[in-house]
Amino acid sequence: MLLRSRFCCNFSILKRVWRNTYFASFMAGAVVSTMIQWLIQDCPESPAEMGKILNQMFVF
């Protein structure tokens, strides 16, 4: 019984880590896509403005 409860606890922790890993990948892809779009549009905003825009996108 102790082994089962220990396994379930560890599995729960692993699920949270996997979820965070997917979230980090998702967010990294969003940044790259946004920067590519900015470059395609010939950088109409300054790098500082882009930093502010990206920061606003990441605030939930």
Its pTM stands at 0.62
Over residues 2-51, the pLDDT tens digits come to 445 544 555 566 667 667 788 888 889 999 999 999 999 999 999 999 99
- Give the span between the Cα atoms of 48 and 59, in whole angstroms: 17
Nearest in space to 60 (alpha carbons), one of 33, 17, 23: 23
**What pLDDT score does 14 carry?**
60
Tokens of 40: 């395609």
Residue type, 42: D
